[in-house]
A and B are shown apart, each in its own frame.
Chain A
Amino acid sequence: MGLGPFARIPRRGLLRGGAMLAGMAFGVERSAAGGRGGDDASAAGHDMAGRHGRNRVVGTVDADRNGFDPMDFLTEFDTGIITTEPDGRQVREWTITAVDREVEIAPGVFFPAWTYNGRIPGPTLRCTEGERLRIRFLNAGSHPHTMHFHGIHSARMDGVPGAGEIRPGEAFTYEFAAEPFGCHLYHCHSIPLKRHIHKGLYGAFIVDPDPDRHPLAREDAASRRLGTPQNASWQELVMVMNGFDTNFDDENEFYAVNTIPFAYFDRPIRIDRSRPIRIYLINITEFDPINSLHVHANFFDYYDHGTTLTPTHRRIDTVMQCQAQRGIVELSFANHEPGLYMFHAHQTEFAELGWMSHFEVV
């Protein structure tokens, strides 16, 4: 408190012994100032005013101006274009451009972001294990950038300074096989790394298992692979847990899944309870050691990194991930009554700073 008369208040500690004196001397502070404090206040402040209990951001983000909508992002899979080489080999290709862009990361809050293709997270790249992948990367930004994929590739394709880092105006083509199958990510690996990541350069990279390679678990693999009849019954959602440090003090002001705080709170994600849910969950939160997902009133199977076809955790309702850790969550609301079911980070701080959401089970 900078105020002159308030400056004496820190001496409070010294005055604990004076409390008795206070009680007998005047009792004025009770009648004049107190008596309307704590208890009444809590009752009044807890007046719910909607299901958020007034824990919310004010206003809405203009998705049109941003050019991306967190609701669409959940189910948008960019499978690229399949081209055939002169030698007859098939290659899956994407073109990704790094651009500087001001993004409205919370209602009325504009962040000077660095993005892949103008959005945060970048496009969700999806392919099948064993495929040849080619990512043509252009840098239209103002700093050097890379695309570093979490996967198996050669040193030359690692997307780090000295191997695939490009300056503004340059281009680079990453080429490798899609391995291993799982729920992965890509991000910029230029230095300073922390800044390049939290400015927005990251995205999901999903490699579906090829059922032909898993004869003993063919059905499980097929259910994972986009486009199969087995996969069609699943409700698949991509959730990238992220945060934004808007004042650059190395601490996040906003937390979310898929960038926009509370995005799925007021606009819940609609779930058809007759169909199972698969969440591709990725943690790219900067500064904080871990992030987590907790689903209300339900338990799920979890496949750490998505690199197995049998769960690595069974029947859990909370899972934590360190930065860049990711996994696949499979759950069902088949036996639940319809209604709103919360899911959020179970670091309650993150939840109240934006990472708070609802499923609307119908």
Chain B
Amino acid sequence: MVRFVWLALPLLILAAIVAYVLGARPLDRIGAAAPPVEQVVVEGTRLRPGVIELGIRADGSQPIVIAQVQVDRAYRAFDIKPAGPVGRLDGARVTIPYPWIGGEAHHVVLVTSTGATFEHTVEVAQATPELDAGSLWQLAVIGLLLGVAPVATGMLAFPAMRGLSAGTFDFLLALTVGLLAYLFLDTLGEGLEAGSASLERLRGQTAVWVAAALTALGLFVAGRWRGAAPQGAALAGFIALGIGLHNLGEGLAVGGALSAGAGALATFLVVGFIIHNVTEGIGIAAPLVRATPPLSLFVLLAGLAGLPAVAGVWAGTQAPSPYWLALCFGVGAGAIFQVMVEVTALTVRKSGFVALGGLNYAGGVAAGLLVMYATALLV
């Protein structure tokens, strides 16, 4: 009973403090005449023939009214759904009939009731792909070329890897760690960038770290569910999952480039990612070198690592919100971090902690980082 009182007391005091701040408004005396704080971000742009559509999200000290809309320094008729003020953290869709010009840039300015302005630039106007059966398939082909094909190609090196000495095998594992470390940094960077584009109050960048930590913890626990650390096929599976989540991000990049009208860039991205991702196949196959895995396992692993790229391309063309992208990249980074730890643990179990300081291991990690960086320059 006494314990209950001690639990309830802090809650009661907390409620009293909140009630005081909201009721007596002591802060108003400090910022009495301050105009309302307003923040609006454009989360996504969709272009249809003759129409620009913006997905927006609002934050501020009171609901925000989008009073007028300019496109290219001219006021335009527009429609906002849902109609009326946009509440804190609420989203809305602004539809502007506008004869946008393919291949050119357009500047949209949203003017709120207080006269504040929020700008958004459509860098290269191009119709957002409609996801009908035909285009879904064509986009899927890009995803397959991007994700599954190079990973599977990399796995073809598996027979050659089997005859390698123990030292070379350790080097190969270290190479995988280096490769994963590169992907981890890259994915995290993408996530933090997307996070910074989301509304401040959603703490997009923090969300990336939290998502990464939770994912790594979750996979770590799942991987050791039966008490032992994952190795062999299981470890390869985790590596494939982590890489798959990273490839989802690559798919998003390609899809985003397509929807932003950068067709030539998308082609270049695909070529670059293909070369880049071949190395990933080697990394996935590395833990299997001491086993005799069936062919179906390779198919499964290639699918796990490569198919997310297809989903990425699909989603990327639809201009997803930066907050969800940030979470997505956070999950990817966490998954990659978990396999980095597990692959390193495998080396430690085999050769002890000393191995981590050896030239073989360090050289492998360095080679992995460098190969990934060098091939990334092609993107």
Contacts and interface: CB of A to CB of B under 8 A. Distances in A.
Contact of B125 (A1, A2, A15, A37): A37
B350 to A, nearest CB: 37
A31 interface: yes
B265 A12 contact: yes
B322 A3 contact: yes
Contact of A9 (B114, B135, B193, B257): B257
B257 A45 contact: no
A12 B260 CA distance: 11
A81 to B, nearest CB: 36
B235 interface: no
A51 interface: no
B65 A108 contact: yes
Given A58-B77, A58-B78, A354-B75, A25 B256 contact: no
B23 interface: no
Contact of A41 (B67, B68, B100, B319): B100
Given A4-B329, A32-B129, A9 B124 contact: yes
Interface string A10-27: 011001101101100110
Given A108-B65, A246-B115, A15 B379 contact: no
B260 A29 contact: no
Contact of A15 (B103, B254, B268, B270): B268
Interface in A215-274: 244, 246-247, 249, 253, 261-262
A44 interface: yes
A36 B109 CA distance: 25
B103 A2 contact: no
B201 interface: no
Interface string A97-125: 00000000111111110000000000000
Contact of B67 (A21, A33, A47, A109): A109
Contacts of A157: none
Nearest to A45: B99
A56 interface: yes
B263 A45 contact: no
B141 A28 contact: yes
Interface in B186-214: 190-191, 193-194, 196-197
B116 A246 contact: yes
Interface string A33-61: 11111111111111101001011111100
Given A36-B49, A41-B50, A106-B68, A5 B103 contact: no
A349 interface: yes
Nearest to B131: A32
Contact of A33 (B48, B97, B101, B261): B261
A253 B117 contact: yes
A8 interface: yes
A305 B195 CA distance: 57
Given A32-B135, A41-B100, A246-B115, A106 B253 contact: no
Contact of B190 (A4, A31, A46): A4
Interface core residue of A3, A15, A54, A107 (most chain B CB under 10 Å): A3
Contacts of B266: 22, 29
A297 interface: no
Interface string B152-195: 00000000000000000000000000000000000000110110
Interface in A320-342: none
Given A2-B322, A111-B115, A29 B263 contact: yes
Nearest to A348: B74
Interface string B50-71: 1100000000000001011110
B97 A54 contact: yes
Interface core residue of A6, A47, A57, A244 (most chain B CB under 10 Å): A6
Contact of B264 (A19, A40, A46, A353): A19
B111 interface: yes
B338 interface: no
A54 B76 contact: yes
A247 B99 contact: no
Interface string B16-27: 000000000000
A41 B256 contact: no
Contact of B75 (A7, A15, A18, A56): A56
Contacts of B247: none
B256 A5 contact: yes
Contacts of A18: 264-265, 267-268
B115 A247 contact: yes
Interface in B110-140: 111-117, 121, 123-129, 134-135, 138-139
A165 interface: no
A304 interface: no
B335 interface: no
B142 A28 contact: yes
B98 interface: yes
13 contacts: A2-B196, A4-B194, A5-B253, A8-B269, A9-B265, A12-B124, A26-B270, A33-B127, A35-B127, A36-B49, A45-B97, A54-B76, A246-B116
Given A22-B263, A246-B111, 9 more contacts: A2-B194, A4-B191, A4-B329, A40-B49, A43-B50, A44-B51, A45-B49, A246-B115, A353-B74
The 6 closest A-B pairs by CB, nearest first: A246-B115, A45-B99, A44-B50, A38-B102, A2-B197, A29-B263
Interface of B: 35, 47-51, 65, 67-70, 73-78, 97-103, 109, 111-117, 121, 123-129, 134-135, 138-139, 141-142, 190-191, 193-194, 196-197, 249, 252-271, 316-317, 319, 322, 325-326, 329, 379
Interface of A: 1-9, 11-12, 15-16, 18-19, 21-22, 25-26, 28-47, 49, 52, 54-59, 105-112, 244, 246-247, 249, 253, 261-262, 349, 352-354
